[in-house]
């Protein structure tokens, strides 16, 4: 089994990666501190894996919350359903919350754990590729607002992350591709050898080749863990993990949460960021074309929605956590394997990408 460590002093925690982990009770039970356990999941994951997890919790006072599946339910209203259960069942501050699901469940579960009685134990069991390689690691939690994605939340680290690669067997092809967008991101921002490996092995990942998937998950988690350990609260290098996300979040918000999967919107946004990087004279055109080609091979969209014009993009991009003094700041690329810290870009150049990339 691969075990990685996110080094954050007294908030450090392990990431376990192995096929079949969900069937091994010890990896769950060892991180539970008291009798009360709440399992948060959704209507898609519950029929597949909830019974297995609950069988490991015999002897505990275990309760469940099952939410609808989808980004459109990542709201304060649905967050309250978690608090309702915690309060009605009189959960104490020694309780444990286990998030069994994808990025939405992990983000909401982490935020609920951060808020309930000012913090309870939180365990991540991610069931999508995107959650396994990105959102389950690093402690970013929160919910969406109609005016902006992930604008209400907190940094709150889990007690552990338990990644069972076998759960990807039931993942729809579209969700698998969406996860690959975040995998590709690590190659672009800091790991050019991994990017080249992905160019050579993307077909194996799409075919769910177990050794290839395990390697990609471990390499992605290692990259994420190193970045988080260096900059937990996103004051510096951690911001590079947001490559493509300012564009992508605008697409998700502007299209209606749930129309695009997060990874699909990030794929489009990363291609837009690459195009803008070329216009700034940093990234070579040939590198931009390699980036677009890899996303296309991963069966991901690379063109922005026709329904969003440049004015709408800029309006939505103005609601972003990286912005400063009213200026849109973006993560861009110097080359494949090297991202910038947040930079302000002249509005005219940004508009050139927004008006021409994918619209010519």
Question: What amino acid positions are annotated as catalytic residues?
Answer: 118, 140, 182, 224, 234, 238, 242, 245, 249, 262
Residue 163: both structure tokens together: 């990644």
Cβ neighbours, 10 Å, residue 274: 28
- Which CB contacts under 8 angstroms, 24+ apart, belong to 292-295? 294/184, 294/195, 294/198, 294/199, 294/202, 295/181, 295/184, 295/267, 295/270, 295/271
Spell out the residues 6+ positions from residue 169 whose beta carbon is closer than 8 angstroms to its own. Answer: 208
Torsion of CA 140, 255, 331, 238, to 10 degrees: 10
Burial environment of residue 77 by CB neighbours within 10 A (0 to 12, 13 to 18, 19 or more): exposed
d(CA 245, CA 267): 9
CB 13 within 8 A of CB 6: yes
Q: Tell me what percent of the chain is helix, strand and coil, each rounded to the nearest 5.
A: 50, 20, 30
Give the CA distances from residue 274 to residues 157, 161, 191, 280, 350, in Å, rounded to whole numbers and listed in that order: 31, 32, 16, 10, 12
* Residue with the two structure tokens 């837009």: 272
Give the integer Cα–Cα distance in Å for 220 and 240. 14
Nearest in space to 255 (alpha carbons), one of 111, 329, 351, 146: 146
φ, ψ dihedrals at 125, nearest 5°: -125, 85
- Three-state secondary structure call for residue 131: helix
Residues 132-157 as b or e (16 or more Cβ within 10 Å = b): bbbbbbbbbbbbbeeebbbbebebbb
């Amino acid at each position: 089994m691969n075990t990685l460590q996110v080094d954050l002093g007294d908030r450090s925690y392990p990431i376990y990666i192995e096929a079949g982990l969900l069937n091994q009770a010890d990896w769950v039970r060892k991180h539970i501190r008291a009798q009360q356990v709440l399992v948060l999941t959704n209507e898609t994951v519950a029929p597949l894996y909830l019974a297995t997890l609950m069988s490991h919790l015999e002897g505990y006072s275990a309760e469940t919350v099952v939410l609808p599946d989808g980004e459109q339910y990542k709201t304060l209203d649905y967050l309250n359903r978690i608090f309702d259960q915690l309060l009605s069942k009189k959960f104490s501050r020694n309780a444990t919350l286990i998030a069994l699901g994808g990025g939405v469940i992990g983000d909401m579960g982490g935020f609920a754990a951060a808020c309930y009685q000012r913090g309870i134990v939180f365990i991540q069991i991610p069931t999508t590729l995107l959650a396994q390689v990105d959102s389950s690691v690093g402690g970013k939690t929160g919910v969406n607002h109609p005016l902006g994605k992930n604008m209400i939340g907190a940094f709150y680290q889990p007690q552990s992350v338990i990644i069972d690669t076998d759960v990807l067997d039931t993942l729809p092809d579209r969700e698998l591709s969406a996860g690959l967008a975040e995998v590709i991101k690590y190659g672009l921002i800091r790991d050019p050898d991994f990017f080249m490996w992905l160019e050579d092995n993307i077909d194996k990942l799409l075919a769910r080749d177990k050794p290839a998937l395990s390697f990609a998950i471990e390499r992605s988690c290692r990259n994420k863990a190193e970045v988080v350990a260096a900059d937990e609260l996103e004051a510096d290098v951690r911001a590079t993990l947001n490559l493509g996300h300012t564009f992508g979040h605008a697409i998700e918000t502007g299209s209606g949460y749930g129309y695009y999967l997060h990874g699909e919107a990030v794929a489009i946004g990363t291609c837009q960021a690459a195009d803008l990087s070329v216009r700034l004279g940093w990234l070579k055109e040939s590198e931009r074309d390699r980036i677009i080609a890899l996303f296309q091979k991963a069966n991901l969209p690379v063109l922005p929605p026709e329904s969003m014009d440049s004015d709408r993009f800029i309006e939505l991009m103005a609601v972003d956590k990286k912005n400063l003094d009213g200026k849109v700041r973006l993560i861009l690329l110097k080359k494949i394997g090297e991202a910038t810290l947040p930079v302000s870009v002249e509005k005219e150049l940004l508009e050139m990408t927004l008006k021409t990339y994918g619209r010519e």
